[in-house]
Amino acid sequence: MITEIAMGISPVLGRLVDRLHRRTAMAGGLLAISGAATIAAASPSVWIFVLGMLLIAIAKFIFDIGLASWVNDHVEYEKRGRVIGMTETSWALGLLIGVTAMGLVAAASSWRWGYAVGAISVATMAIVVMTRLDGHDVAGSQRSHETVKHKMPLNGYWIFGAMFFLMAASQTLFVTFGSWLEDQFGFTEAGISAVVFGLGAFELLASVTSARRTDTWGKERSAIFGAALIFPAGLLLTIGHNNQVIGLILLGIYLLGFEFSIVSMLPLAANLIPASPGRGLGIVLAGGTLGRASMSLIATAAYDKFGINVPAFIGAICAAGMIGCIVAYGRTTPSNV
């Protein structure tokens, strides 16, 4: 929660990234993630660990904005859904392979070594980015001063609200499903890692499907479709959470819907201020961090008192709120795709 609240500075970070070369933002973000993960791994107290997690969040945001801005610079809006979907397969593969590997390392040794593996892996990819991308690619500082100062359109704040609700919906289960599996069914760390591997497969399916369909269906419609999967999965999980097989299937559908929706929303958010994609995306992601921050506290407290059924229900309601925001945005911008 502390980390997410601190990420309310994301609009400022977005403006900063707009003034950097894209390679600098991406490689620098990756190197900073590696350093922050090292701090977390070596932390002697919970507060140093929180600092490491905060720095990871800030650094990852810089990388994400750099990547989204690079796509904006090189890909037409009508084709960005496909490209963003392709890049987001790495998100699913990170869950499928990376987090699973870290979990297995933690189970075999300690959680500290899990973070160490992550730090080494990200540092390796920073080197790849530095050596493979053009170091003199587009930088925001090359744009006119007047253009960069364009403000977020008023209807863009519907997307801000949509991201708030979508991230809130995701967080209700992200912060509780591990405890649910452990408390309800006796899962070990290795068992939870196996579940994460399976969830990564669901997310990979969502990313690939989004890459193929988002531009055809339209960004708003695709985002609504993803949230429309979250809503019934959350409601049904409130009933079927005592059955391991049914519960895991519903959890997978829930996260599949989230992944499809977030991939569809990213090109939409980055295009809200075309001359300053980092700033526009930063404002929208600030809504997402507020959603995650609120649910980090609410969902865990609800789980401790009632179990997984209440967080799942809250997540379904948040998905409905997200759909409402996207519909409101679409009514004010009929020409968007």
pTM score of the predicted model: 0.78
Per-residue CA distances from 261 to 37, 147, 242, 289, 335 (Å)? 28, 30, 27, 16, 20
Closest-CA residue to 268 (of 116, 85, 110, 90): 85
End-to-end CA distance of the chain: 34
> What is the mean pLDDT, run by run of 10 residues, along the chain of 337 residues?
71 78 90 95 92 90 86 82 80 76 84 91 93 71 47 88 96 93 88 80 78 83 94 95 93 90 85 80 86 90 94 97 94 62
Cα distance between residue 224 and residue 214, in whole Å: 11
Helices (H) and strands (E) in the chain, counts: 15, 0
User: How many CA atoms lie within 13 Å of 201's alpha carbon, on the beta-carbon side?
Assistant: 8
Closest-CA residue to 75 (of 208, 221, 214, 207): 214
Instruction: Delimit the domains of the chain by residue range.
Output: 2-132+152-332
DSSP state of 139: B
User: Quick one: pLDDT at residue 144?
Assistant: 42
And the tokens for 21? 């070369």
User: How many CA atoms lie within 13 Å of 306's alpha carbon, on the beta-carbon side?
Assistant: 14
DSSP state of 152: P
Helix pair angle (22-42, 111-132), 10° resolution: 160
277, 18 Cβ separation under 8 angstroms: yes
Cα distance between residue 125 and residue 265, in whole Å: 26
User: Quick one: pLDDT at residue 135?
Assistant: 67
Cα distance between residue 291 and residue 50, in whole Å: 19
20, 135 Cβ separation under 8 angstroms: no
The CATH superfamily of 2-132+152-332 is: MFS general substrate transporter like domains (1.20.1250.20)
- 3-state SS class at 35: helix
Closest-CA residue to 23 (of 131, 135, 128, 132): 135
- 3-state SS class at 21: strand
